[in-house]
Amino acid sequence: MSLLEKFGYKKDDFAIVLEQPDLFKSNAKTTKVVVGEKTTILGSINNIPVPATITVTNALWTRLTVRDHKIERPNEEPRISQVFGGVFSNFKADVMLQIDDTEMSLYDLMKQFITEAFGSAISDDKVNQQLSENLALNGLRNGGPFMFQQMGAGISGIQHAVEAFRSAGAVDDMRSVANSDSFNTAYKFVGDNSGMQVTSFELGTQNRKLSKTSQGFIDIVSAITENFERVVAHKKAAANLKIDLDSKIGKLSMQEITDKQGLIDLELNMAKDYVNCWSGAARQVKIVQGVKVYANKYNAVNAPCGRWTTASGDTTTDFDVWSNSSKVSENTEAEQIAKVQSASEVF
């Protein structure tokens, strides 16, 4: 007698597990990353999925912001929701990829790309020297900022986070967002290695197909590799412009030389913008009459994160700013709207 028969089951009751495995894949929207533990994460390079793991060795929660977000939908009254933002500073991690049954670091993969592109024309020492100067690849080991946000954050979760953040020593930082009327709250820690020690966090992903600008955080592997591609592309453009300038410099007026040098400097500046942000960088885009207009500037990308945990001594604190979270008791919608409208008084 089979085990199925022993417990009164038929083969058809369980055959679907292998016949339609996609039905049994996890539908979780986030991946929990525990500091100090190797975690399997989503990874992709140039839109090609890559099995990956991340081991975060350090993260300090050092900044907190809350801003208003106006939601306008057809046949609905406009409403205001809250966007909670933060920064994990001194964020250190090892990212490993599984490529054709071989495990390699993200750094080693980029090194292989460059070596293959140049072949025997470039030495191993030269590749190492070039990559050692690229902060986008080495920063994870050395520590840098990882920016995150939660759209439509819950009011009670926000209040809890703000109160704990202030109690731990954060100071008001509204001055840094004075140019934007949408921010109602901003706090930060001052001083090196100052902040709340992060022990875990939930990392989400964004669907770029739903974005008007086709941008957004997908995973940390793509965030870092795309940043590297951005730096290379702008520095390559600057190098080509410099070659063109040098070849024509004897025939150009001072104004023409100044204009061409300005284009070179612009490309080099765009290569530097947010090179140290591990959640990625995105070029500023405005939609004008349905057409994308690109600005010569990059902004940091925020990774979706609405739950994280900090520790101080023996005390562990959970933070949860999901608006529909089962972990945080939410007020009624009417109460939330009332609190949002008086956010400047609350915070």
Residue 240's domain comprises 222-301
Same domain, 48 and 148: yes
Check residue 193 and report its DSSP letter.
T
Check residue 160 and report its DSSP letter.
H
The model's confidence at residue 133, banded by pLDDT at 50, 70 and 90, is low
pLDDT of residue 209: 85
Q: Lowest mean pLDDT: which of 112-116, 124-128, 214-218, 252-256? A: 124-128
Same domain, 37 and 140: yes
Q: Which residue has the higher pLDDT, 10 or 346?
A: 10
* Domain-embedded: residue 22: no
Please say whether the dihedral angle defined by the alpha carbons of residues 153, 158, 160 and 161, taken in this order, is positive or negative: positive
Same domain, 64 and 199: yes
Average pLDDT over residues 158-170: 96
Same domain, 163 and 117: yes
For the chain, the first-to-last Cα distance in angstroms comes to 68
pLDDT of residue 141: 67
φ, ψ (nearest 5 deg) of residue 288: -115, 110
Q: Which residue has the higher pLDDT, 69 or 23?
A: 69
What pTM, to 2 d.p., does this model score?
A: 0.80
Whether the CB-CB separation of 309 and 198 falls below 8 Å is answered with: yes
Integer Cα distance of 104 and 273 in angstroms: 28
* Domain-embedded: residue 265: yes
* Domain-embedded: residue 11: no
Amino acid identity at 65: T
End residue of a domain, out of 301, 318, 336 = 301
Same domain, 136 and 265: no
Same domain, 105 and 181: yes
Say whether 110 sits in a helix, a strand or coil: helix
pLDDT digits (tens, 9 = 90+) for 314-337: 899 999 999 865 444 334 333 443
Same domain, 107 and 247: no
Same domain, 143 and 176: yes
- Using the structure block, give the residue that is written with the tokens 């470039």: 122
List the Cα angle 303/50/141 in 5-degree steps: 60
Same domain, 279 and 319: no
Same domain, 199 and 230: no
Average pLDDT over residues 183-200: 94
Same domain, 94 and 198: yes
Mean pLDDT, the chain, as a whole number? Answer: 84
Asked if pLDDT for residue 72 goes beyond 70, the answer is yes
The residues, ordered by sequence, that sit 6+ positions from 49 with a Cβ below 8 Å of its Cβ are 42, 43
Percent of the chain with pLDDT over 70: 83
Would you state the structure tokens that stand for residue 341, as one six-digit string?
A: 């409208």
- Using the structure block, give the residue that is written with the tokens 């925020």: 302
* Domain-embedded: residue 17: no
pLDDT of residue 174: 96
pLDDT of residue 334: 39
* Domain-embedded: residue 14: no
* Domain-embedded: residue 39: yes
What's CA 100's distance to the chain center, in Å? 27
Cα Rg of the chain (Å, integer): 24
* Domain-embedded: residue 9: no
pLDDT of residue 201: 97
Number of domains in the chain: 2
Q: Lowest mean pLDDT: which of 126-130, 236-240, 262-266, 321-325? A: 126-130
* Domain-embedded: residue 5: no
Same domain, 277 and 183: no
Q: Lowest mean pLDDT: which of 67-71, 126-130, 238-242, 318-322? A: 126-130
Q: Lowest mean pLDDT: which of 22-36, 188-202, 249-263? A: 22-36
